[in-house]
Amino acid sequence: MAKEKIEVLIQGGKATAAPPLGPALGPMGVNIGQVVSEINKKTASFQGMQVPVKVLIDSETKAFEIEIGTPPASSLIIKEAGIKKGASNPLTDKVADLKIEQIIKIAKMKEDSLLGKTLKEKVKEIVGTCQSMGILVEGTPALETIGRINEGTFDEAIRLEKTELSAEELKTLDEEKKRLAEELEKRREEFTNIAKQTLSEMKGKPSSAIKHKLQELKIPEQVIKEILPEDEAEKPAAGAPEKKEEKK
């Protein structure tokens, strides 16, 4: 019994007969509408995320099976945190806070693709991903949370595989997310004001020197790019001689 396999990335709950799925299914002789409907049913919980999908088709009977993969852990974290993306500078910027129950939920969703042998080890992997995205876990930086996990602070929640939060806990997390966003915006304004003042003080100097000064002041790269476009950073000041290439 020969089987054909089609692998595509589909936005959760939004598969259509359009490319890439429709043209791939067309020559297979299956009912495309049924396949699309089944995929959307199985990926409904992953709305807003790209989901790996396999369609296995019996070349003789035209019967089909749908296998759904899971999005990357970072995508699941973003959805659970209710944000659009992680922090630009995760070492200094924090954009959201997650509870251990949410981490357990993601670890269970990704358990087949994580390296840890136990749920506790898999939970730590997800927390590690939060660290790289500027997301707090249980109100503390993710690396500190890993230490608390090692100490056994969340052993009971992990043992019970708790994944649900109360309405009050969800409300608290939402308020914390708003507070972090306001704090981030305030810091961004401070950096922008410092950058503009530096730009004014160094008027007439080479843009590359100004960029170097901004970097010394630890101004985020995104702010530097907005204040001093990248293509300007290499231009010498007006009337200044062109910089000669150094001999190697």
Set out the domains of the chain in order of their start, with CATH numbers.
Answer: 3-68 (3.30.1550.10), 73-165 (1.10.10.250), 182-233 (no CATH)
The pTM for the full model equals: 0.65
Contact indicator for 97, 188 with CB cutoff of 8 Å: no
State mean pLDDT over 31-42: 92
Contact 106, 81 (CB under 8 A): no
Give the HSE-up count for residue 122: Cα atoms under 13 Å, Cβ half-sphere.
Answer: 21
Q: Who wins on pLDDT, 1 or 51?
A: 51
CA–centroid distance for 157 within its chain: 25
Nearest to 138 by CA among 172, 185, 92, 188: 172
Point out which residues pair with 11 in neighbouring strands: 50
DSSP letters spanning 52-114: EEEEEEETTT--EEEEE----HHHHHHHHHT-SS--SSTTT---EEE-HHHHHHHHHHTGGG-
Residue 229's pLDDT is 65
8-state DSSP, 26: G
Mean pLDDT across the chain: 86
Q: Report pLDDT digits (tens) over 174-183.
A: 898 888 889 8
